[in-house]
Amino acid sequence: MTLLLLLLFSSCLCCVLTGRFIPLARRYRLFDKPNQRSSHSQPTPRGGGLAIVASVFISCVLLQYYYPVFSDGFGWHTKVLLVCALLIAVISFVDDMRDLSVALRLSLQGLLSLILVFFVGPVPLANLLPIWASVMLSCIGLMWLLNLYNFMDGIDGLAASEAVVVCFAAAGVLVINNAGGSVIFLTIALAGSALGFLVWNWSPAKLFMGDSGSVFLGFSIGGLALITTQGELLTISVWLILLAVFIADASYTLSRRLFTGQDIFQAHRSHGYQILADHWASHAKVSLLYMGINIVWLVPLAIAANAWPQLSLVIVITAYVPLLAMMAKLDNLA
């Protein structure tokens, strides 16, 4: 019952906060203006991700006040994650407004990733790597996830709907594993807040989340993956499968640009979802397709990987092969 109330509260709160933010964004002229690399044709208010951030924090603070769920064994880890995610969101909002240099932005992201890994611990790799290598790999993984989530926030509803499905699915697997407490409540708060924002962000979007929202979601989901794998609540395979459609799209696109000698720091329109949105002339169809892939294909595979961890490598490969093949096929539409 508490989880359901948290879901309803965070969804309604974020929906209201997002609606109130739109006139503020217009008043202060916080617009994302279309250019040759944009997927939209009209100036649209941006920075709405702050509503997601505020909703998650308010929901967690109120929940802790009435039901001290963030005082369990993982409470300290989730609190550190929330603080680091807030700082990430602030840095990203400043970047939205001021265009920070790539070096400064990555340095700050790396520092906050290192702080989180220091307090939580790196992803356990069955003693395959020394601790320093595990820490480095965990930090790189966090930074890649928060940035790829930003890369994938290019059409209406895509990033928000991904957060809704991934967080709902992760919460479901946590319930299957009889895991509760702060981790599952934070996961539901993220899912609910993203759902409330999606009301305004679905095509045609009345507001964009901007870097402050996409980077916050990517870092938060990555932090949850770190906490749950370190605490043996979920395996890293489950998270790799749940996030597979975003990881496959962003990683395939980056690899292709690297191998063809293109500037990977330059804005572009060569992601699979962008190619498909142009081909279909619809943002909603692409977002629904990605949601469908998650629900029909990836969520069942994640549940299977959780049930049979000895087969997790095979299941991860099974999840990614058709997605990478789809990305390669989309090249023909570009």
Q: Which pLDDT score, from 0 to 100, does residue 334 have?
A: 66
Q: Which pLDDT score, from 0 to 100, does residue 126 have?
A: 57
Q: Is residue 244 part of a domain?
A: no
Residue 13 makes CB contacts below 8 A (sequence gap 6+) with 55, 58, 59, 193, 196
Q: Which pLDDT score, from 0 to 100, does residue 177 have?
A: 96
Angle at which helices 49-66 and 2-27 cross, to 10° = 140
Q: Is residue 193 part of a domain?
A: yes
Q: Is residue 168 part of a domain?
A: yes
User: In this structure, are residues 255 and 264 in contact, taking their beta carbons and an 8 Å threshold?
Assistant: no
In our burial notation (b when 16+ CB lie closer than 10 A, e otherwise), range 87-115 reads: bbbebbbebbeeebeeeebeebbeebbbe
Answer whether 0.75 is exceeded by the pTM: yes
List, for the chain, all residue ranges whose pLDDT scores fall below the cut of 50: none
How many Å apart are CA 318 and CA 303, to the nearest integer? 13
Q: Which pLDDT score, from 0 to 100, does residue 39 have?
A: 67
Q: Is residue 260 part of a domain?
A: no
Count other C-beta atoms under 10 Å from residue 176's C-beta: 12
Q: Which pLDDT score, from 0 to 100, does residue 41 have?
A: 64
H or E, element range at 45:
strand 44-45
Verify cis geometry, omega within 30 degrees of 0, for the bond prior to 204. yes
The 10s digit of each residue's pLDDT in 80-134 is: 999 999 999 999 999 988 888 989 999 999 999 999 999 999 988 756 778 889 9
Q: Which pLDDT score, from 0 to 100, does residue 130 have?
A: 85
Residue 239 carries which side chain, given as an amino acid letter?
A: W
Q: Which pLDDT score, from 0 to 100, does residue 178 have?
A: 93
Q: Is residue 13 part of a domain?
A: yes
> Which residue range is the domain that position 103 belongs to?
2-234
Q: Is residue 271 part of a domain?
A: no
Number of compact structural domains in the chain? 1
Q: Is residue 310 part of a domain?
A: no
How far from 275 is each of 105, 125, 184, 308, CA to CA, in Å?
Answer: 28, 36, 35, 36
Residue 244, Cα to own-chain centre: how many angstroms? 12
Q: How many CA atoms lie within 13 A of 7 on its CB side?
A: 13
Alpha helix positions (H), the chain: 2-27, 49-66, 75-98, 102-120, 131-151, 158-176, 182-201, 210-230, 236-242, 244-259, 272-280, 283-292, 299-307, 312-330
Structure tokens at 247: 């990881």
Q: Is residue 98 part of a domain?
A: yes
Q: Which pLDDT score, from 0 to 100, does residue 35 have?
A: 64
